[in-house]
Structure 1
Amino acid sequence: MAAWCEDNHVAHDVYGNGALIEQFEEKIASLLGFEAAVFCISGTMAQVTALRLACEDRASTLVALHPTSHIIIHEKSNYQLLGHFHALLAGERHRPWTAADLRALPDKLGAVAMEVPMREIGGQNPTWEQLDAIKAHCRTRNAHLHMDGARLWEAAAGYKRTPREIAAGFDSVYVSLYKGIGGLGGAMLAGSRSFVERAAEWFRREGGNVIHRSPYVVSAAMQFDARIAAMPHYFRRTEWLYEVLRDYPAIRVNPARPQANMLHLHLPVSRERALEIRNRVARDHQVWLFGRAAPGALADTSIVELYVGENLAALPDQRVRDSIELLARGMAGQ
């Protein structure tokens, strides 16, 4: 990072004012087709703030969320305890939204927050036609449509559309600077200039006004173009991996076909057993099969996530096949 800064004559920003961060904000806004974007120290802060402002604009504190929304599952009820908005769950937990799910809510909505792709169900997305229908429905009801785009770059490869095409019709978009991009942390919130300016003021009120944001921005900016360019390759590798997994019927893969460069594997062993197999394979064969494991809906089953990035893309095909074979043998007690 230091060498990159020297080569590019980068100096620290001061409270967000600086050439590098301002240019990178403009770059993200342009890629997504919005007037402006602003850095935020975390996606958790960026999203609930955006939804709070959207609700103020529409005079309704109700926000429609999918049951697997990051806000519902991972953010400790912050939206509720901090008085940002009230959540209404829409749709079924195991499938992406449809416009009919939103039409089923009779209430006046301030906002609709949609994750693209939906990570907790294996990176699934609505069809392109359903996504268009959701956008049209929100316009008709005058509901602010916000995108949780933590993995938008990955979804673009799956949709075979540009991020700008996917973002068209949304009123605001949050993207992560570390998930697919590999930065140290941080996020960007894009929208109209007035909306972004208001959000930036709220970030200050909420304690997000760190004096130097440049370490986060540098770590993302220095590899951003390369990571974006690699996403189609990661997706093709995911499609290849999916075909390999079809040779192991005990491993159930979600979704039925890849829609982003991630897959969820439903395993016929308990979470504890899955972790034991992972650790043994790592110790004996120097392969890290997966990170976290979660209990499945049925007894003695578990769910693990595979994210296809640089590590898996760089592994030789046979090494990947051998690793899956080790997982299968471990589940069979061999």
Structure 2
Amino acid sequence: MSEDNEDTEREKRQAAAWRGAGRMLSRSLRDATVAELLAPLAEAPYDMDRPADLYGDGVVAELERRVAGLLGTEDAAFFPSGTMAQQVALRCWAGRTGNPVVALHPMSHPERWEGGALSAVAGLRAAHATTEARQPTAEEVAGLAEPFGTLMLELPLRDAGFVLPTWEELEALVGAAREREAVVHFDGARLWESTVHFGRPLAEIAGLADSVYVSFYKSLGGLSGAALAGPRAFVEETRVWRHRYGGRIFRQFPQALAALAGLERELPRLPSYVEQARRVAAALGPAFAEAGIPWSRVHPEPPHTHQFQVWLPYDPDRLTEASVRVAQETGRVLFRRWFPAPVPGLSVTEVEVTEPGLTWTGTEVAEAVAAFAARL
């Protein structure tokens, strides 16, 4: 069997184990069937007897109005992907400021996961206030050696552990950008669940920035899609560029209905997910020690959102195999795939807590850790 076939069979085995388990902290986006994805659409808060959308009207326009209202902005535009939304936003701000330099973290989504599109497609250039796995400080932004037109902050910074600044640090970061005569854009793919950490409503958080991007599937359980929110004239300009980028789609009612359903169902529940994630995280450290695992790290501790990292001193394939066996043999999913950590000899995984994990107790977490450790 070729190496590619072995990888495919391994992935199928992993997916089957996790999909077949009865207890988990969260459903994976990969687990859902077509029927499961279609079911919430009929429950969306929208009149199904109205005509379907055409090029962004109807239910898509209703979603845009809802998002603008939640974020307290003048307008919002639906985009088929967050990658497109952010590239358009940063391109538009560069045109308005006359400066193609974007200050952003090297671990942010445009730098890591978009194939160099900022420079290759939009002709923009990145500047990094810090390379450390954390949010930048106001002092670092103020001290950037070259002028920049836009400061982009990913809230939370996913690849660093879903980390957020404090509210005071965020205000200072925005203030530092203003002192440099730059605009501020929030990559808020997961901004929805950041209200607990900041202790502020969505509109107050978004109000610090000139523009905000939010995702409809990463926390809200939608099918796909994103929105850009901000001043009306700016959002209208992004709609022009959306068309140029190929994002003016004939019909998008499934994505819009799924997003409306997510805003109705998941958005109010996100604070409870964050609180439960903190309880799960607090139980993990003592459970690892009790199970005889020599070293562990939960990051950040406590979690800033309902997602966080776990680090352990084992090979990632060994940890993933233990995770699969726990699912197969106990019917519980505590962890899924593991990956090499930036530090040699360590591995890292991401833990997410949503509705399925709300009933987990500290005792159940400890039992799942013991089962996991026994299979290492």
Give your verdict on TM over 0.5.
yes
Given the alignment, which residue of 304, 320, 324 partners 1:275?
Answer: 320
1:12 and 1:289 map into 2 onto residues whose CA distance is: 41
Residue 15 of structure 1 aligns with an amino acid whose one-letter code is: Y
Q: Does structure 1 residue 168 correspond to structure 2 residue 207?
A: yes
1:2 and 1:51 map into 2 onto residues whose CA distance is: 32
Paired residue secondary structure (2:266): helix
TM-score by length of 2: 0.84
1:316 and 1:21 map into 2 onto residues whose CA distance is: 40
Cα 1:84–1:197 shift into 2, 3 Å: farther
Identity across matched positions, percent: 34
Structure 2 partner of 1:12: 52
Structure 2 partner of 1:109: 148
TM-score by length of 1: 0.94
Paired residue secondary structure (1:125): coil
1:2 deviates by 5.5
Paired residue secondary structure (1:17): coil
1:128 deviates by 1.2
Q: Does structure 1 residue 37 correspond to structure 2 residue 82?
A: no
Structure 2 partner of 1:261: 306
1:198 deviates by 0.9
Given the alignment, which residue of 37, 50, 62 partners 1:23?
Answer: 62
Cα 1:324–1:36 shift into 2, 3 Å: same
Mapping of residues 284-295 of structure 1, within 5 Å: 284-295=329-340
Given the alignment, which residue of 306, 316, 323 partners 2:351?
Answer: 306
Given the alignment, which residue of 99, 102, 106 partners 1:60?
Answer: 99
Given the alignment, which residue of 312, 327, 331 partners 2:372?
Answer: 327
Paired residue secondary structure (2:185): strand
1:14 and 1:278 map into 2 onto residues whose CA distance is: 45
1:325 deviates by 2.2
1:70 deviates by 0.8
Paired residue secondary structure (1:328): helix
Structure 1 partner of 2:230: 191
1:195 deviates by 0.7
Extract unaligned runs of 5+ from structure 2.
1-39, 290-294
* 1:56–1:110 CA contact under 8 A, matched in 2: no
Paired residue secondary structure (1:29): helix
* 1:36–1:193 CA contact under 8 A, matched in 2: yes
1:60 and 1:266 map into 2 onto residues whose CA distance is: 40
Q: Identify which of structures 1 and 2 has the higher relative contact order when contacts are C-alpha pairs closer than 8 Å and 6+ apart.
A: 2
Paired residue secondary structure (1:63): strand
Cα 1:73–1:292 shift into 2, 3 Å: farther
1:317 deviates by 5.0
2:158 and 2:188 map into 1 onto residues whose CA distance is: 10
Choose 144-153 or 96-105, whichever is displaced more.
Answer: 96-105
Mapping of residues 82-161 of structure 1, within 5 Å: 82-161=121-200
Residue 133 of structure 1 aligns with an amino acid whose one-letter code is: A
2:94 and 2:264 map into 1 onto residues whose CA distance is: 34
Choose 320-329 or 176-185, whichever is displaced more.
Answer: 320-329
1:316 deviates by 5.3
* 1:51–1:84 CA contact under 8 A, matched in 2: no
* 2:316–2:339 CA contact under 8 A, matched in 1: yes
Choose 280-289 or 22-31, whichever is displaced more.
Answer: 280-289
1:164 deviates by 1.1
Choose 67-76 or 279-288, whichever is displaced more.
Answer: 279-288
1:117 deviates by 0.8
Deviation digits for residues 23-59 of structure 1, max 9, x if unmatched? 2211111211110001000000000110011011111
1:168 deviates by 1.5
1:171 and 1:21 map into 2 onto residues whose CA distance is: 23
Choose 96-105 or 47-56, whichever is displaced more.
Answer: 96-105
